[in-house]
Structure 1
């Protein structure tokens, strides 16, 4: 099931020019520290095209989470701008679906209640909401758990609920911050497969933050490699491998070593 997202062909067989969905332009972030200003990010710039899956990796302290929060509209940049479909991001929006490492599910709501929460704030009628929730629960493979509560679910299942909830309002961009960091390796591998299936089905633009280089190479069309002190883009690596990707493939190992080398510089 190989596909290069966001790079569809025109009717004449030529490649269409992908639309720029996300633009990070010259983003810098400075905090006031006890010993003077702390420069968390410096002149970070990159684009994400429509339907593309992009991962952000880098060493500890490179500002990945700060950058994520700025893109999500949860924090303001000191300089520069983030835009979504040409409009500046100036706060949280329904155009941004967010999945964190912590599930942030409502323990008193069922799977159905959690997935449908965002839809309750829209003008969608009750029947449409029910159909949308059923569609998403099926999409993430949670049929049979509709009426279960979060304490009854495994970590992987909770994260699938969080993913379905983020997709419910049909956002333009899906932002994921270390979403599989709290699950075991076997569950993570399964979630990788399921996430790619969801991505193929929805054609969403995805920006995924991770510290795991192998995870990034497994998932991404491109990998934004960041450096620290201050946080900045060292290089953007195009991953030219068909999907599904096998970690035993020599080409996979070459990308992993290349990105690890960039992080270690």
Structure 2
């Protein structure tokens, strides 16, 4: 494996940590058995960093996502966001899922405005923020459209705009492009990286697609299964935009796939 491939190092300048996952474990109890979904998971995500989580089926990626989102409680350990323990959902985390989750009876603008309404943001401020977010995702011409009138890629861009509208500290994305075709996915990768660069958001992105992870991430958290745990964290040191035909890109993909297959 090429020396171009690097892993987490300690000689880089210190950054502010946005997310810290500390000795995290998650166990599910049933009448018949106990299932250990996550065991001793540890990693951090720095402010403004783009981190992807990959791993084999059953490694607990989505469970980990849900704990960080505050949708489930950890059995042991904790997640902190800007040093504060995560105890439930909050507007400091914007979430985007594979299922678009748009309200079919609301227009694009009304969907994007939903979180702002829940926060009690006044009408003029809300409208300005919605306009800003729709321009950011390239949908400013679709303000009054309904979800049924949009393609899959456009629906996901509405989802991203809605998540960003409340100005979260962390953007959490759980396989958000898994339901779109390959061409649309490539386009959304470019758009997401542009949005990330413009907003300086911290992004934690769960995917089963290793090439997607290498395309997007500063670092890739590679998980192992039974129970779910961190196998290795790989830093992706390739300038953006990244080309899948680049031999170094292929080396990263091979390396991470090898870790998943071990």
Q: Unpaired runs of 5+ in structure 1?
A: 1-14
Q: Give the number of equivalent residue pairs.
A: 251
Aligned match of 1:219: 216
The 2-side partners of 1:147 and 1:154 are apart by: 15
Q: Distance in 2 between matches of 1:230 and 1:216?
A: 22
Alignment match of 1:66 (pick from 55, 63, 67): 63
Tell me how far apart the structure 2 counterparts of residues 34 and 56 of structure 1 sit (CA, whole Å): 31
In the other structure, the counterpart of 1:106 is 103
**1:91 equivalenced with 2:96 (yes/no):** no
Q: Could you tell me which of 18, 21, 29 is aligned with 1:32?
A: 29
The superposition leaves residues 18-69 of structure 1 with CA deviations (integer Å, 9 ceiling, x where unpaired) of 1000000011011114542111100000000000000000000000000000
- Provide Cα deviations, 1:127-154, integer angstroms capped at 9, x if missing partner: 1111110000000001211100000000
Q: Which runs of 5+ in 2 are unaligned?
A: 1-11
Other-structure match for 2:240: 243
CA displacement at 1:124 relative to structure 2: 2.7
Instruction: Name the structure 2 match of 1:183.
Output: 180
The equivalences for 1:99-248 within 5 A come to: 99-248=96-245
Deviation at 1:16, TM superposition (A): 5.0
TM-score scaled to structure 1, two decimals? Answer: 0.93
Partner of 1:262: 259
What corresponds to 2:5 in structure 1?
none
Following TM superposition, the consecutive aligned residue runs of length 4 or more in structure 1 with deviations greater than 6 angstroms are none
Residues 140-184 of structure 1: CA deviation (Å, up to 9, x unaligned):
001211100000000000000000000000000000000000000
Q: Which residue of 1 aligns with 2:53?
A: 56
Tell me the SS of whatever aligns to 1:245. Answer: coil
1:3 maps to which residue? none
Counterpart secondary structure, 2:70: coil
SS at match of 1:27: strand
Give TM-score scaled by structure 2 length: 0.94
Q: Give the secondary structure class of the aligned counterpart of 2:131.
A: helix
Q: CA RMSD in A?
A: 0.9
Query: What SS class does the counterpart of residue 60 from structure 1 fall into?
Result: coil
Equivalent residue, structure 1, for 2:38: 41
**Stretch moving more, 132-141 or 115-124:** 115-124
Map Cα deviations across residues 205-225 of structure 1 (whole Å, 9 max, x no partner): 000000000000000000000
Q: Deviations 1:106-140 (Å, cap 9, x if unpaired)?
A: 00000000001111122432111111100000000
